[in-house]
Amino acid sequence: MNDYEKLAERLFPDITMTPEQYEEKYPARPLPEGARVTRFAPSPTGFLHIGNLFTAYVNKLTAENTNGVFFLRIEDTDKKREVEDGVSGILAGLRAFDVEPDEGVLGFEFEQGEYGPYQQSNRCDIYQSFAKELVQKGLAYPCFCSEGALNDIRAEQELQAVNKGYYGDWAVCRKLTAEELLEAVETGKPYVLRLRSTGDENRRIIFEDMIKGKIEMPQDIMDVVLLKTDGIPPYHFAHAVDDHLMRTTHIIRSDEWIASVPLHIALFKACGFKVPKYAHVSPLMKEDVGGKRKLSKRKDPEAAVSFFVEQGFPKTSMLEYLLTLINSNFEDWRKGSPTAPQSAFPFNLKKMSASGALFDMVKLNDVSKNVISVMTAAEVYEQMVAWAKDYDAQLYTLFSGNPDYATAIMDIDRDNKNPRKDIAKWSEIREYVAYLYDELYTPCFDLPENILPGDAADILKTYKDVLNVEDDKDTWFGKIKDMCAGLGYTPNVKEFKQTPEKFKGHVGDISAVIRIALTSRRNTPDLHSIIRLLGVKKVHQRMEDAIQYYEAQ
């Protein structure tokens, strides 16, 4: 046993599994040629940022399109950032929009897959096994510098205006021999384990980022901490060991990590791992006074995925919109394939924009209106009830109490060639259906300026006499037209436009009065369908109320 091996044994007496054994335990994945293995690796903070959902979706698409695997790993070695059960909230956000992992952490204290454990705090033995081997090879060493000593080094570096950190000649413990290190360990001094960097600041690393293109940076020369005093690794070393053993082929993550790539490559190389492919995703931006800025958790409610769940954006809408941000050719593809499933889109990681995409709520709303407009009434019913169950108890009771009625409401105008596009999210439904439920309805009989209350009362009185809720649409509208002449209106809009002085108004004004009396709205879906849904009793009652109101004016 040489001195480094003795040191390694002294530092890790309980670590008996070797890296070689772990290599065997986690063999290459039995996947088809070209299959990509990707992952989403959040800290369990309980919060899922929309940018994280976006990146996770890119990971999922990459795996899915190549028959690969997308897994979820929880990076919890930094206990400060953790909250109790910070996993469920993140998983709920992913699931809400169908960005479900195939493997890894799939619930609170629940995971699935052959490459686990998938929670870093349960992998300390594995990290220590690889750390032990680095010590054996002289590539890592214990460092006994106290907080105070490190501060002194930093102060001196500041004075000399050189790069700060523990490296090269500044790295005091790096210079100790294995024997001296062993002696220091024997004294019981606390230590961290550091990488003995082989980087040269005058040499550069070049790597091909699949989104950003070719990137060149100086090599990393820091003797970074591999294991803290408690034997737990900070993120960087854990990432290298995990992504190697979990057989990740493509690391797709936020571009805040680009600056760490030289270090990550150094770690992969020190451990003898193949360097995976990298793709760094730019942050989602928001238009603000003075230009674009990153979507901020602190300032923007829409930075939280939970916001979109609470608002009730359908999964398909969110994914459809995210796809427009992911690949700019998606919208053209969609025009050519309006009914194709999203999974048929030929997603291409390399076509992602290298600069941050603008997250535009107005556009999301438009996309969502389109998506909802082509759903069947049954689909709409199912989704809006599921949303109401969690977020609007009264609506849920009303809908689930009479599913046929609710479905019929959502079916109005749905078979049109140009279906209505007035709902973007389920939280808008309450307002949309309000006049069809007495429990939600507050009448408001305000008229447009061109119609006088007395005329409105006359129109309603006449209509009450001819109304039959069983009438088909043509008969129904025929009756309204027939009412015109007797009331001083014309059934012919063109005629009214040519000689307005001859009439009080046209058939559209008559319909408007009826619509307002029955719905308190000036714009609704097909009025004939609404009358049939309201039924004879409610229609008569509402007309009575409106007549009384106008007569009292």
Q: Which residue, 47 or 321, is less far from ligand GLU as judged by CB?
A: 47
Encoded tokens for 137: 């090879």
Q: Which residue, 58 or 309, is less far from ligand GLU as judged by CB?
A: 58
Least spacing, CB of residue 323 vs ligand GLU, in Å: 22
Least spacing, CB of residue 361 vs ligand GLU, in Å: 25
Q: Which residue, 263 or 436, is less far from ligand GLU as judged by CB?
A: 263
Least spacing, CB of residue 80 vs ligand GLU, in Å: 13
Least spacing, CB of residue 6 vs ligand GLU, in Å: 35
Helix (H) or strand (E) holding 141: strand 140-143
What are the backbone dihedrals phi and psi of residue 213, each rounded to the nearest 5 degrees, phi first? 90, -160
User: Residues in the site for ligand GLU, rule: CB under 6 A?
Assistant: 41-43, 75, 235, 239, 253, 257
Taking each continuous run of H as one helix and of E as one strand, the counts in the chain are: 22, 15
Instruction: Using the structure block, give the residue that is written with the tokens 């007569």.
Output: 551
Least spacing, CB of residue 39 vs ligand GLU, in Å: 7
Q: Which residue, 75 or 125, is less far from ligand GLU as judged by CB?
A: 75
Least spacing, CB of residue 94 vs ligand GLU, in Å: 14
Strand partners, 278: 209, 251
Instruction: Using the structure block, give the residue that is written with the tokens 């082989």.
Output: 198
Nearest CA among 519, 523, 504, 511 for reference residue 450 = 504
**What does the alpha-carbon distance between residue 75 and residue 78 come to, in Å, rounded to a whole number?**
8
Q: Which residue, 251 or 516, is less far from ligand GLU as judged by CB?
A: 251
Least spacing, CB of residue 32 vs ligand GLU, in Å: 25
Q: Which residue, 174 or 239, is less far from ligand GLU as judged by CB?
A: 239
Q: Which residue, 40 or 330, is less far from ligand GLU as judged by CB?
A: 40
DSSP string covering 205-243: EEEEETTTEEEEEEPP-B--EEE-TTSPPPHHHHHHHHH
Q: Which residue, 242 or 458, is less far from ligand GLU as judged by CB?
A: 242
Least spacing, CB of residue 55 vs ligand GLU, in Å: 8
**What does the alpha-carbon distance between residue 67 and residue 83 come to, in Å, rounded to a whole number?**
34
How far the first Cα of the chain sits from its last, in Å, is 104
**What does the alpha-carbon distance between residue 383 and residue 300 come to, in Å, rounded to a whole number?**
26
Specify the pairing of strand 69-72 against strand 489-490.
unpaired
DSSP state for residue 167 in the 8-state scheme: B
Least spacing, CB of residue 253 vs ligand GLU, in Å: 3
Q: Which residue is nearest to ligand GLU (CB)?
A: 253
Q: Which residue, 326 or 384, is less far from ligand GLU as judged by CB?
A: 326
**What does the alpha-carbon distance between residue 215 and residue 255 come to, in Å, rounded to a whole number?**
12
Work out the widest C-alpha separation in the chain, in whole angstroms: 112
364 and 291 Cβ atoms separated by less than 8 Å: no
57 and 321 Cβ atoms separated by less than 8 Å: no
